[in-house]
């Protein structure tokens, strides 16, 4: 019986996977904080570890570093669960010795099961005598090596369906909980209390990302993962709690809440491959915008002036447009007004990213047809969240119209 250690502070996710892999023939243990997880690696000596990076007491990166420093655990398969928006942390996890990295927002039970069995199969093959060339591991050779064979596909489907039923049953209570937490965050004036409120809301949204990804609610998982990263940024760097990020947080909270209210009827995201046009005459600002869009997992095209952007928009369809305001020749207001005269861009989301954040500029952005405005300098993940929110809303509106 192979040993699986799950190090995960979300007790619901940990319990779900513990039961699933116990049924599949694993000897499973769960640790809900990093220090306990490290202790159990030493005592339990698992054959594979499922490790969340965001843990209390000792984070996942610290666990990886300490484990890989021990010769007996240098080849231990460690599957890291992370947030796709936290690219720096993911890079650090690879460097610290993660065997593979999966994102909670898009990892199904089937994908996780396949990954675990592939790693155990590879480990079994590597441990076999090297005198005879070894064929690639199959279900038969893996079973002979003592590795539990992956469940048949319909078992994973049945498991996910049951978890989805439980998820939907818990949605009303959870939705109310996160709305209440967000109200606490908004109303708290004390700096220490506000940071704590952001942290508590982050923990709930972190749990939502994992749960929604597990049950296949991909639209909720996608925006929840982005919002989770924004809340983590606000909690870890309180200087980023400002009017703009708070406003974006509120907009996103309402969007997620509305998604949860209709979670049972949400269509799958399907083929979601939008393209964003970013227009800014300053190279550094343009790179910041495209990096933020990339973080959202969305393709972008960047241009440095209004006339070129107007021409490009006629040649190529864009699903969202991010504009600077203060540009020579044709400013952002003028460009937005011209775009709105084209039938193809009548309802396309437009976001201004500008150093002009006064009331008059906000009024002009609205009058020119823009949907939103973020003031420079901006938090990268804030723009990621805003871009993704508008793109998902547009996708849902299109699906309802079909």
Q: Nearest CA to 235 among 105, 227, 295? A: 227
Name the segment(s) of the chain with CATH classification 3.40.50.2300.
3-151, 275-401
Asked if 229 contacts 54 with a C-beta cutoff of 8 angstroms, the reply is no
- What strands lie across the sheet with 299-303, from one edge to the other? 299-303, 275-279, 320-323, 350-354, 372-375
Fold of the domain built from segment(s) 156-265: 1.20.120
pLDDT score recorded for residue 154: 63
Name the segment(s) of the chain with CATH classification 1.20.120.160.
156-265
pLDDT score recorded for residue 384: 96
Global confidence as pTM: 0.85
Q: How far is CA 334 from CA 16, 328, 338, 370, 390, in A?
A: 54, 11, 6, 11, 22
CA–CA separation, 240 and 238 (whole Å): 5
Fold of the domain built from segment(s) 3-151: Rossmann fold (3.40.50)
Of 3.30.43.10, 3.40.50.10470, 3.40.50.2300, 3.40.50.720, which CATH number belongs to 275-401? 3.40.50.2300
Helix (H) and strand (E) counts in the chain? 15, 10
Q: For the chain, which ranges sit under pLDDT 70?
A: 128-155, 356-368, 401-402
């Amino acid at each position: 019986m192979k040993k699986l250690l799950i190090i995960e502070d979300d007790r619901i996710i940990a319990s779900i996977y513990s039961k699933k892999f116990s049924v599949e023939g694993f000897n499973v243990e769960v640790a809900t904080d990093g220090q306990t997880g490290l202790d159990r690696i030493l005592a339990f000596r698992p054959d594979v570890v499922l490790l969340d990076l965001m843990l209390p007491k000792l984070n996942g990166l610290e666990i990886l570093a300490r484990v890989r420093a021990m010769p007996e655990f240098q080849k231990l398969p460690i599957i890291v669960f992370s947030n796709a928006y936290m690219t720096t942390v993911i890079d650090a996890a690879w460097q610290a010795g993660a065997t593979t990295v999966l994102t909670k927002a898009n990892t199904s039970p089937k994908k996780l099961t396949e990954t675990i069995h592939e790693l155990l199969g590879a480990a079994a093959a590597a441990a076999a005598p090297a005198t005879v060339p070894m064929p690639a591991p199959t279900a038969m050779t893996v079973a002979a090596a003592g590795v539990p064979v992956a469940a048949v596909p319909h078992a994973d489907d049945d498991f996910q369906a049951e978890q989805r039923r439980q998820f939907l049953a818990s949605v009303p209570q959870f939705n109310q909980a996160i709305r209440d937490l967000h109200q606490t965050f908004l109303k708290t004036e004390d700096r220490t209390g506000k940071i704590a409120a952001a942290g508590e809301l982050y923990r709930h949204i972190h749990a939502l990302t994992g749960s929604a990804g597990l049950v296949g609610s991909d639209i909720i998982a996608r925006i929840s993962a982005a919002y989770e990263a924004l809340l983590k940024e606000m909690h870890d760097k309180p200087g980023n709690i400002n009017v703009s990020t708070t406003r974006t947080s509120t907009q996103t909270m309402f969007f997620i809440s509305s998604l949860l209210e209709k979670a049972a009827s949400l269509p799958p995201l399907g083929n979601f491959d939008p393209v964003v046009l970013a227009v800014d005459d300053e190279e550094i600002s343009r790179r910041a915008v495209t990096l933020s869009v990339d973080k959202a997992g969305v393709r972008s095209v960047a241009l440095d002036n209004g006339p070129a952007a107007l021409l490009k928009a006629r040649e190529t369809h864009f699903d969202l447009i991010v504009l600077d305001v203060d540009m020579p020749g044709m400013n952002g207001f003028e460009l937005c007004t011209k775009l709105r005269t084209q039938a193809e861009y009548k309802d396309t989301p437009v976001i201004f990213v500008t150093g002009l954040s006064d009331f008059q500029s906000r009024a002009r952005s609205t009058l020119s047809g823009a949907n939103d405005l973020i003031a420079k300098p901006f938090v990268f993940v804030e723009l990621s969240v805003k871009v993704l929110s508008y793109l998902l809303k547009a996708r849902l509106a299109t699906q309802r119209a079909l």
